[in-house]
Amino acid sequence: MPRSHAALPRLFVAPDLAAGAQLTLGKEQSLYLAAVLRKSVGDDVVLFNGRDGAWLCRLVGDSKKSVVLELVEQIAGQTPRSELWYGFAPLKTERLDYVIQKAVEMGAGTIQPVLTRFTQVSRLKHERLVANAIEAAEQCEVLAVPTVEQEVTLERLLDGWPAERALIFADEGEASSSPVTALEGLRGRPVGLLIGPEGGFADEERARLRALPYVVPVSLGPRILRADTAAVAALAVIQAIIGDWR
Ligand code: SAM
């Protein structure tokens, strides 16, 4: 994304994006642009839809109920969704919003809530998780919004896990060691990361995970991290060693 457009508001929309097309925004996005950001005719914004890259657009109508935009030019080609799979035991509301946003910023392409024995939250508002993922994608200039899956139990997840994908298991019971060697060995393979709940993994869950051939237990150091801290720490280590930070 050209840095010259970095200061422009970025909005995720559903319709196709093509040169010369006009697009009328819905009430919420119109209010945000016209009332909150006080954008008016002649101002520029960036739109993306997850398929057609990023487009520079110009306001040609600035009603607070229905802003009209004209598409000027494509400023970034569409990039593929990240291969990085991120599974986590859902946390209570605000921290759940936080964990979704951080997973997007840290480059996860699939976000999978996993219900484990000690997970404290069982019913999730999927549309809220999706809205958080879209908002984070708008902010961090991700062009392919990560997929947010419906929650699944750990058993179901493991029963259907594709063996070619390594599952990096953040195991607070693992002796403190550097994850570098374990992760280096996964270079070039599709990987997933699994973070447990505030109550950690149950003994039988840890035993089942550690017995699976595609599971790679890693330590995140000598201290017990809160689940949302562990998520960011683990994603950072993965991206730095075998991911897209290199
Ligand atoms: N049982 C503790 C508790 O009740 O707070 C720890 C659970 S911890 C908050 C949540 C998750 O973060 C763990 O299940 C694990 O996936 C990850 N985690 C936290 N600290 C870790 C560490 N030092 N090494 C590996 N994973 C860690």
- Domains delineated in the chain: 3-76 (2.40.240.20), 85-242 (3.40.1280.10)
Asked if residue 46 has its Cβ within 6 Å of ligand 1, the reply is: no
Asked if residue 220 has its Cβ within 6 Å of ligand 1, the reply is: yes
Asked if residue 219 has its Cβ within 6 Å of ligand 1, the reply is: yes
Instruction: Taking residues 10-37, report their average pLDDT.
Output: 96
pLDDT recorded at residue 107: 98
Asked if residue 221 has its Cβ within 6 Å of ligand 1, the reply is: yes
Q: Which of 66-70, 114-118, 174-178 has the lowest mean pLDDT?
A: 174-178
Per-residue DSSP letters for 65-86?
A: S-EEEEEEEEEE---PPP--EE
pLDDT recorded at residue 142: 95
Residue nearest to atom 9 of ligand 1 (CA): 226
CB 180 within 8 A of CB 131: no
- Grouping H, G, I as helix, E, B as strand and the rest as coil, residue 148 is strand
Mutate to test the pocket of ligand 1, among 225, 232, 237 (most ligand atoms within 8 A of CB): 225
* Rounded Cα–Cα distance for residues 26 and 32 (Å): 10
Asked if residue 196 has its Cβ within 6 Å of ligand 1, the reply is: yes
Q: At what angle do helices 126-140 and 93-105 cross, to 10 degrees?
A: 40
* Rounded Cα–Cα distance for residues 242 and 187 (Å): 6
Residue nearest to atom 1 of ligand 1 (CA): 200
Asked if residue 195 has its Cβ within 6 Å of ligand 1, the reply is: yes
- What own/partner pairs with CB < 8 Å and gap ≥ 24 does 3-10 have? 5/44, 5/46, 5/54, 5/56, 5/75, 6/141, 8/44, 8/45, 8/46, 8/56, 9/33, 9/37, 9/39, 9/45, 9/46, 10/45, 10/46, 10/47, 10/48, 10/54, 10/138, 10/139, 10/141
Is a pLDDT exceeding 60 seen at residue 1? no
Express each pLDDT in 118-140 by its tens digit.
998 878 999 999 999 999 999 99
* Rounded Cα–Cα distance for residues 241 and 219 (Å): 15
Between 66 and 1, name the one with better pLDDT. 66
Report yes or no on whether pTM surpasses 0.75.
yes
Express each pLDDT in 152-211 by its tens digit.
999 999 999 998 999 999 999 888 888 999 999 999 999 999 999 999 999 999 999 999
pLDDT recorded at residue 3: 59
DSSP H or E stretch at residue 96: helix 93-105
Instruction: Taking residues 217-235, report their average pLDDT.
Output: 96
The CA 195 to ligand 1 mean position distance, Å, reads 7
* Rounded Cα–Cα distance for residues 74 and 62 (Å): 22
Asked if residue 172 has its Cβ within 6 Å of ligand 1, the reply is: yes
Q: Percent of the chain at pLDDT above 90? A: 87
pLDDT recorded at residue 121: 87
Asked if residue 235 has its Cβ within 6 Å of ligand 1, the reply is: no
